[in-house]
Amino acid sequence: MALLEVIGLTKKFVGVVANDRISFEIEKGEIVGLIGPNGAGKTTLFNCIVGYHKPDQGTVKFNGKPITGFKPFQTNRAGIGRTFQIMSISGSLSVSENVMVGSFCRVSDSRTARQEAAEILNLMELEQEAQARMNELPIAAQKRVGLAMALATKPKILMLDEVAAGLNPRETEEMVALLQKIHAAKDLTLFVTEHVMEVVMPISQRIIVLDGGQKIAEGKPRDIANDERVIRAYLGEKYVEGRKH
Ligand X SMILES: Nc1ncnc2c1ncn2[C@@H]1O[C@H](COP(=O)(O)OP(=O)(O)O)[C@@H](O)[C@H]1O
Residue 13 binds ligand X (CB under 6 A) = yes
Q: In 124-168, which residue ranges form alpha helices assigned H by DSSP?
A: 139-152
Residue 38 binds ligand X (CB under 6 A) = yes
Measured CA to CA, the distance from residue 35 to residue 37 in angstroms comes to 7
H helix or E strand, kind and range, residue 209: strand 206-211
Measured CA to CA, the distance from residue 43 to residue 34 in angstroms comes to 10
Amino acid identity for residue 15 in this structure:
G
Residue 211 near residue 36 (C-beta atoms within 8 A):
yes
Phi, psi of 212 (to 5 degrees): 55, 35
CA distances from 92 to 131, 135, 142, 210 (A): 11, 7, 13, 38
Site residues for Mg ion, 10-69, by CB under 5 A, read 42-43
Tell me the residue length of the chain: 245
Q: Compute the least distance from the CB of residue 38 to Mg ion, in Å.
A: 7
Helix axes 169-186, 110-123, angle to 10 degrees: 120
Stretch touching ligand X by CB under 6 A, among 35-43, 170-178, 226-234, 235-243: 35-43
Size of the site for Mg ion (CB under 5 A): 2
Gyration radius from the chain CA atoms: 18
Measured CA to CA, the distance from residue 218 to residue 207 in angstroms comes to 6
Residue 108 binds ligand X (CB under 6 A) = no
Contact partner, 44, from Mg ion, ligand X, none, Cβ < 5-8 Å per class: ligand X
Q: Compute the least distance from the CB of residue 186 to ligand X, in Å.
A: 26
Q: Compute the least distance from the CB of residue 140 to ligand X, in Å.
A: 21
Site residues for ligand X, 182-241, by CB under 6 A, read none
Could you say which of 20, 22, 30, 36 contacts ligand X (CB under 6 A)? 36
Measured CA to CA, the distance from residue 124 to residue 67 in angstroms comes to 30
Residue 42 binds ligand X (CB under 6 A) = yes
Could you say which of 10, 43, 59, 115 contacts ligand X (CB under 6 A)? 43
Q: Compute the least distance from the CB of residue 145 to ligand X, in Å.
A: 22
Q: Compute the least distance from the CB of residue 97 to ligand X, in Å.
A: 30
Residue 39 binds ligand X (CB under 6 A) = yes
Q: Compute the least distance from the CB of residue 41 to ligand X, in Å.
A: 4
Chain contacts with Mg ion (rule: CB under 5 A): 42-43
Chain contacts with ligand X (rule: CB under 6 A): 13, 16, 18, 36, 38-44
